[in-house]
Each structure stands twice: as structure tokens, then as C-alpha cells.
């Protein structure tokens, strides 16, 4: 950073020339600065505003903006100006057009690093080099730092800010000894009223309840409330710790009933509400007034999702918000339109899906992960299709009447028993995108991996979101850039989410690096691995084997009589004649190479020399139960090496057992070499960025 231009914050920034400028415009009844006022504001940032200086401009048009967004608060962006600004960002690879960051989560150096990925920066750097001028980096960083400080001084999250900066658009910017700006505008306004903070410590009561109450259980039919009751009992939750609130009944299915919330003998940790939507409004008032519960799960749908329900739902949310100002913070509410919660440590399942329709894995989850989803069906399909994901906790947020994505992620970001967090988002409440991004950063700094998928990436998709959980799906490029800059791994589709959530959990405790070793018994697979090392923003490298590794692998090939058929290189095609042991001996040789950081190994289940079948009719005993099979040999190798190993079992249903037994023992397995290698590349990129953030904090 240029030592002559240092960012200043909060009151110090407002004591400079900026505050009188805003007051002058406001006194004149304007929320937009006049040209002279904008010149004064920018001069205070060490920049020159000269609207008539077009002839002085370099060929590269730079645009820098500060914008107040509904989801993320104040966001800084930079990218092409002039005619290039009209180009659709979808024509560019990720981060090549414009880049974005929440100003509260970035400084000048961090935003410069992000901007350096763009084509606009590359043009600026090339032009400076061609003209024999110094790199523009120092002035870019200084200017970004000043603008970020200005934005944060007039942020909607600063309770002392007398005004909020809504938009500052600078275009036709020339970077030289200073910033020369040919065109610009600035809009500001009065600060809004923020929601009260939710008492998120009570989420612990929600996921580890010592007592549960249920409203809406039918005594005569299998309604949603009765299904939830059955699932609670089926998951092992004690009947003695449950209470049904239903007048006129003594017990249902062996669970005690009371007439009302006022009849409870003690305060409940969790109340599950499974009544018709119209009955929720009065019931919530009773819940708040009686102060009889710590946390509430609102199952009913349609609250705020239809035109008729929007105003009543907004009034309901306002009453819940006001209750958070009471002593103790009042109860927290999950939902509405909420599938429920599965908590393995809490010993309960409150989903309203009958267990016969969604069999759960029989053993307690070992993965240190949580899945947070605005859509319950998203979690159902993920677990149904990918039972190995089975997190410790699964929570459906519904339409976020009270608890939001930011609240949930903030809570789990601090939990020592969680390493990996998967999140499905349809939309944010006002400014909760910023809370969510802050929570992402907190989770990453605490050593966790956060994998996110946001729906509504197209206009039809956004319309579908509005009809489901009354959410507003913001611009996908803005979301992607801000959340990645915070430290999350952002998935583009459902399959990518599954892959990234899985690999993040499987490799969380491994060391990562960019240099790949690729091993296969099939030529197409070795090439496929090498062809899959690139993403839009990152690339693995094919590591160069050390001479000692080449010699060691050659010895293995000689011992297996494969030396005449195989050339030692990376990637290596070790021939279908290689047995289980050959694959794994070579894998470990690669792992011990100082030039290799991770190995992707095709385990060749269809090869006749590999013990990949549950039972072989042609060669009895030559199967998965053989002590020399991959399912016995590979797990110890994974356990004793701190570098990632990705096993590829590329075959049909016949080889599900091989893949499943490896995964049950902690081996990271993919069924396709391209998906496995791409997931590794995305994961390594995120881990390296997370490590840089943690290093910067130290």
C-alpha cells in the first residue's frame, strides 16, 4: 500500500470532508451529490474528479462501484467500463469480468488480489508495462482501501452513521500517480432500522433438547403431527421427555398430554408446531406471552408464501423480532414451512417424512458435519441418493420467519464438533447475506470448510424460489463472488454440491497442495484425470516424479512382471494386468514423493486382476473378502498418510459394495475420475485460500 494514502474508519472518516458534503446535499433536499460535491468527496479520498478530461484517458476503461445491496450490505465491485460494461458477464469465465466483495470483509490488498483476476486488470498491467510505467498495483490498492473505508463509515450496519452510502459509481477511471475519474455519481440516504439480534445460543436447545412438546398431534389419524411423534419415538427419543399439547386427551401413543402451554409443569427446550397455518398467528402470541419454551419449530407452510399471507406473516415476524428485546431474548423460531430437524447427538428426528419412505443409516453418524437447508426436500434427496453424507445435524430453515442462514452458520461456526458445513440457500432476509458472509469467514478462520449452493441462478429459477419459501434470489455473480471471497466453496449445481460436501468431509484432516499424482490401469482414465485439473479460477499441477520414486515404481513393476508394459511417468497407466497390491504400492510410492501433494488412483474394478466382486464365481475367494483386496489394503494407507488420496471405482452397480466398504472405512471414493479430480481441484483451491486467510489473521 502507498504509505501516503492510508484508510481511515468510522468517526475519523466522517470527521473528514465527506460528512459536510452529505449534510449539504441533504439540507438542500437532495439524496444525490452535485458534481462539485462529488469532486470534494473524491478529493478527500486522494482522487481527482474531472468530468471534462476525456482526452487524458488511457485506452483501458475501468469502473469501480460501491453499492448498497439488500442481502450483503455495502459491496465494492470493479471491472470493465465503457462499452465493455454492456457485455453479459456470462460471456466471461468466473472472475474475468467484474469482481465483488463485501466491504466489511475485505481490505485494499485483498480486493486488489481479487481484481487481479480480471481482464481489465490484465489490460491495465500490460499497458503500463508497454509504456514503461510502474505497475498500477500500489495506486489500485490505495484507492480500493480508501473507498472501502468510506463505504464502511456510511454502512447500514454502523449504528452511529448519520447517512448510508447507497451508490458510488466511478467510471472511465485512469490509474496513474493518482486516480483520475471522468464520470461518476453518488447517492446516499437515511439509515434504516435493523432487526434485533436473535439469541442464537438457544439453538443448542433446539438441537439438544432435554424436553420436547408437540402441538397438532391427531389422536385418531396419521397427520403430520402424528408422523412427527412416531419419528421422534422411532429415533429413540424418550416418551418421558415428550409432552403433547392437546386438550381433552390424557395420552397419545403413550405420550402424556396437557391442555395448553399454561398447563406445562416446566419450560420446554423445544416446541414443535404442526397445526394449520391460520392457527399459527395466535399460537405464536401465546408462546411469547407464556414464555413457556426456549425454541420453536414451525412446520406449517404458506406463511408469507402467498399474496394473502404476506402482510400477516410480516406482522408475525415483527412480533417475534420484538420479543427478542425482552429479558432473556424470548424464544427462537425455526421455519415456517420447515421439514424439521435430525440431530444424531440430540437423539431425535422430527422430520414429517415416514421412516419407511426414507430409511436412515443404521449406525450413528461419524462425520463431523452439518447440513443447513432452506428446502427440506433438498436434504431428503441428498441423503436418499448419497447416504454416506449422513451429517450429525440436518436442519431445515424454511422461510426464515426468525432464524436465518446467518444465525445458523454463526452458531455452527463456533462448534468444536463440526468440521464441515453444507448449506442450501434460496434467498436471504435483508442484510442476512452479510451476516452469512461474516459467519463463513468466522467458520473458515476456525478451521472449518463451508460448501454452499444457491438456487435461483436463472430468471425462471428465481421465480420458482419466490413461489416456494418467499425468498428473493439475488444476482448469482454477486452471491458467488462475495461468498467465495468470504471463504466458502460455492457449487454450481446439485451434483457439484454433493461432490464438494463429501470431499470436504473426507479430506478435512489432510494436508493439501497443488501437485497431483495420477494413477490408473486404463489409459482413458489417466488422461481424464489430467484433463480435469482445471477450474475457472484455479489449476492443479501434474507433479514431476523424483528420481527415487521412478526407481521405486520400476521395482514394483518388475516384481509384478509389468515393467515391459508400463513406462513410469505421471500420469501413469499401469495396465489392466496390475492387481490390487500393485495399484496401492504405486499409490504409496507417489504419496512419499516430495513433489506430489495428492494422488488420484483408478482402482480398476473391472480388471480381472482386481478383487472387486462381492463373490467371484470364476475364481472363488478372489473377492472383497480376500485379505489382499483393495478394501483391506487401502484404508491403512489412507490412515497413515497425511496427503489426500482419491480412489476411483468406475463401474456399475456390481461394484457398489467395493465402493461402499471403502467409504465406510474413511477412504474418499468417487465413481468417475473426472468428477473426483475436479472436486479435488475445487477443494484444494478453497483450502489454500482458507489457509491464506488464517495466515493473514496471525
How confident is residue 559, by pLDDT bands cut at 50, 70 and 90? very high
pLDDT at residue 16 in the model: 61
Query: Ranked by mean pLDDT, which of 123-132, 299-308, 679-688 comes out on top?
Result: 679-688
Distance CA 589, CA 461 (A): 48
Classify 230 as helix, strand or coil.
helix
Q: 189-227 burial, b if ≥16 CB within 10 A, otherwise e?
A: bebeeebeebbbebbebbbebebbbbbbbeeeeeebbbb
Residue 394, H or E segment: strand 393-396
Strands 393-396 and 341-343 turn out to be: antiparallel
**Which residues on adjacent β-strands are paired with residue 243?**
213
CA 518 to chain CA centroid, nearest Å: 28
Residues in the chain: 698
| Nearest residue to 631 (alpha-carbon basis) of 580, 588, 583 | 580
Q: Residue for cell digits 471414493? A: 669
- Contact predicate 437/483, CB 8 Å: yes
642's CB contacts (< 8 A; 6+ apart) are 509, 510, 511
Say yes or no to pLDDT of 268 above 60: yes
Distance CA 48, CA 32 (A): 19
Distance CA 512, CA 503 (A): 12
Residue 79, H or E segment: strand 73-80
How confident is residue 8, by pLDDT bands cut at 50, 70 and 90? very low
C-alpha cell belonging to residue 579: 492387481
pLDDT at residue 471 in the model: 39
Give the CATH class of 200-506: alpha beta
| Nearest residue to 399 (alpha-carbon basis) of 337, 344, 445 | 337
Measured CA distances, 138 to 3, 134, 482 (Å):
9, 9, 23
Average pLDDT in the chain: 90
Greater confidence (204 vs 7) lies with: 204
- Superfamily of chain region 515-694: Succinyl-CoA synthetase domains (3.40.50.261)
Distance CA 14, CA 321 (A): 31
Distance CA 582, CA 324 (A): 63
Domain spans in the chain, listed from the N-terminal domain onward: 10-189, 200-506, 515-694
Q: Residue for cell digits 473426483? A: 676
**Which residues on adjacent β-strands are paired with residue 165?**
188
Distance CA 172, CA 82 (A): 7
Measured CA distances, 620 to 616, 623, 631 (Å):
5, 7, 17
Instruction: Indicate the range of 59-68, 114-123, 609-618, 643-652 predicted with least confidence.
Output: 59-68
| Residues 249/250/251/255 CA torsion (nearest 10 deg) | 120
pLDDT at residue 310 in the model: 85
How confident is residue 173, by pLDDT bands cut at 50, 70 and 90? confident
C-alpha cell belonging to residue 587: 499409490
Distance CA 549, CA 547 (A): 5
| Nearest residue to 474 (alpha-carbon basis) of 444, 434, 438, 440 | 434
H helix and E strand count, the chain? 22, 26
pLDDT at residue 353 in the model: 80
Match domain 10-189 to its CATH number in 3.30.470.20, 3.90.1170.50, 3.20.20.70, 3.40.1390.30.
3.30.470.20
Instruction: Indicate the range of 84-93, 232-241, 412-421, 638-647 predicted with least confidence.
Output: 84-93
Say yes or no to pLDDT of 662 above 80: yes
φ/ψ of 605, rounded to 5, equals: -65, -25
Strands 73-80 and 62-69 turn out to be: antiparallel
Strands 369-373 and 420-425 turn out to be: parallel
Say yes or no to pLDDT of 179 above 70: yes
List the beta strands (DSSP E) in 88-155: 99-102
Please check whether the two domains, 10-189 and 200-506, share a CATH topology: no
Say yes or no to pLDDT of 636 above 90: yes
C-alpha cell belonging to residue 168: 458510488
Instruction: Indicate the range of 288-302, 358-372, 415-429, 518-532 predicted with least confidence.
Output: 358-372
pLDDT at residue 51 in the model: 81
Say yes or no to pLDDT of 13 above 70: no
Distance CA 571, CA 576 (A): 15
Say yes or no to pLDDT of 231 above 80: yes
Say yes or no to pLDDT of 474 above 60: no
| Nearest residue to 328 (alpha-carbon basis) of 434, 440, 442, 199 | 199
pLDDT at residue 1 in the model: 35
Amino acid at each position: 500500500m502507498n504509505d501516503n494514502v492510508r484508510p481511515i474508519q468510522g468517526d475519523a472518516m466522517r470527521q473528514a470532508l465527506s460528512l459536510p458534503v452529505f449534510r449539504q446535499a441533504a439540507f438542500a433536499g437532495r439524496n444525490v451529490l452535485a458534481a462539485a460535491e462529488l469532486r470534494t468527496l473524491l478529493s478527500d479520498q486522494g482522487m481527482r474528479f474531472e468530468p471534462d478530461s476525456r482526452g487524458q484517458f488511457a485506452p483501458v476503461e475501468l469502473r469501480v462501484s460501491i453499492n448498497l445491496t439488500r442481502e450483503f450490505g455495502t459491496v465494492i465491485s470493479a471491472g470493465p467500463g465503457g462499452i465493455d460494461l454492456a457485455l453479459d458477464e456470462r460471456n466471461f469465465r468466473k472472475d474475468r469480468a467484474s469482481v465483488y466483495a463485501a466491504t466489511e470483509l475485505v481490505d485494499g490488498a485483498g480486493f486488489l488480489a481479487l481484481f487481479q483476476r480480471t481482464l481489465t486488470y490484465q489490460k491495465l498491467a500490460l499497458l503500463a508495462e508497454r509504456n514503461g510505467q510502474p505497475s498500477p498495483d500500489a495506486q489500485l490498492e490505495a484507492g480500493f482501501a480508501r473507498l472501502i473505508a468510506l463505504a464502511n463509515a456510511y454502512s447500514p450496519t454502523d449504528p452511529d452513521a448519520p447517512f448510508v452510502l447507497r451508490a458510488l459509481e466511478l467510471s472511465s477511471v485512469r490509474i496513474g500517480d493518482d486516480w483520475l475519474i471522468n464520470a461518476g455519481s453518488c447517492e446516499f440516504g437515511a439509515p434504516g432500522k435493523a432487526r434485533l439480534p436473535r439469541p442464537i445460543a438457544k439453538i443448542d436447545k433446539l438441537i439438544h433438547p432435554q424436553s420436547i412438546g408437540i402441538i397438532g398431534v391427531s389422536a385418531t389419524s396419521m397427520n403430520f403431527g402424528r408422523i412427527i411423534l412416531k419419528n421422534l419415538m422411532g429415533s429413540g427419543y424418550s416418551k418421558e421427555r415428550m409432552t403433547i399439547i392437546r386438550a381433552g386427551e390424557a395420552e397419545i401413543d403413550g405420550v402424556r398430554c396437557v391442555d395448553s402451554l399454561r398447563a406445562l409443569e416446566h419450560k420446554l427446550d423445544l416446541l414443535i408446531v404442526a397445526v394449520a397455518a391460520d392457527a399459527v398467528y395466535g399460537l405464536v402470541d401465546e408462546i411469547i406471552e407464556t414464555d413457556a419454551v426456549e425454541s420453536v419449530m414451525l412446520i406449517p407452510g404458506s406463511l408469507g408464501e402467498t399474496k394473502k399471507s404476506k402482510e400477516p406473516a410480516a406482522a408475525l415476524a415483527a412480533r417475534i423480532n420484538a420479543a427478542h428485546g425482552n429479558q432473556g431474548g424470548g424464544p427462537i423460531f425455526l421455519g415456517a414451512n420447515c421439514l424439521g430437524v435430525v440431530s444424531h447427538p440430540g437423539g431425535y428426528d422430527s422430520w414429517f417424512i415416514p421412516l419407511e419412505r426414507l430409511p436412515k443409516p443404521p449406525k450413528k453418524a461419524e462425520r463431523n458435519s452439518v447440513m443447513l437447508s432452506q428446502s427440506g426436500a433438498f436434504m431428503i434427496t441428498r441423503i436418499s441418493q448419497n447416504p454416506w453424507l449422513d451429517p450429525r445435524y440436518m436442519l431445515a430453515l424454511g422461510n426464515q420467519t426468525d432464524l436465518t442462514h446467518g444465525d445458523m452458520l454463526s452458531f455452527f461456526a463456533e462448534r468444536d464438533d463440526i468440521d464441515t458445513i453444507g448449506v442450501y440457500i434460496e434467498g436471504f432476509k435483508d442484510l442476512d447475506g452479510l451476516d452469512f458472509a461474516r459467519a463463513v469467514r468466522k467458520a473458515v478462520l476456525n478451521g472449518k470448510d463451508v460448501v454452499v449452493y444457491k438456487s435461483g441462478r436463472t430468471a425462471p429459477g428465481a421465480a420458482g424460489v419466490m413461489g416456494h419459501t418467499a425468498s428473493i434470489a439475488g444476482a448469482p455473480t454477486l452471491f458467488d463472488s462475495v461468498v467465495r471471497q468470504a471463504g466458502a466453496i460455492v457449487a454450481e449445481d446439485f451434483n457439484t454440491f454433493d461432490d464438494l460436501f463429501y470431499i470436504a468431509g473426507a479430506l478435512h484432516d489432510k494436508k493439501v497442495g497443488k501437485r497431483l499424482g495420477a494413477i490408473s490401469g486404463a489409459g482413458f482414465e489417466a488422461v481424464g484425470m489430467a484433463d480435469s485439473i482445471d477450474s475457472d479460477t484455479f489449476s492443479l499441477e501434474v507433479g514431476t516424479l523424483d528420481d527415487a520414486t521412478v526407481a521405486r515404481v520400476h521395482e514394483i513393476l518388475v516384481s509384478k512382471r509389468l515393467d515391459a508394459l508400463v513406462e513410469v511417468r505421471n500420469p501413469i497407466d499401469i495396465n489392466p494386468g496390475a492387481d490390487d497390491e500393485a495399484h496401492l504400492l504405486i499409490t504409496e510410492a507417489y504419496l512419499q514423493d516430495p513433489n506430489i501433494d495428492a494422488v488420484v488412483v483408478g482402482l480398476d474394478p473391472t480388471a480381472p486382476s482386481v478383487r472387486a466382486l462381492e463373490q467371484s464365481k470364476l475364481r472363488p475367494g478372489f473377492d472383497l473378502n480376500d485379505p489382499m483386496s483393495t478394501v483391506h489394503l487401502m484404508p491403512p494407507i489412507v490412515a497413515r498418510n497425511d496427503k489426500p488420496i482419491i480412489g476411483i471405482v468406475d463401474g456399475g452397480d456390481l461394484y457398489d459394495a467395493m465402493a461402499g466398504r471403502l467409504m465406510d472405512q474413511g477412504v474418499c471414493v468417487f465413481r468417475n475420475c473426472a468428477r473426483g479430480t475436479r472436486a479435488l481441484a475445487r477443494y484444494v483451491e478453497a483450502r489454500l485460500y482458507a489457509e491464506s486467510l488464517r495466515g493473514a489473521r496471525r
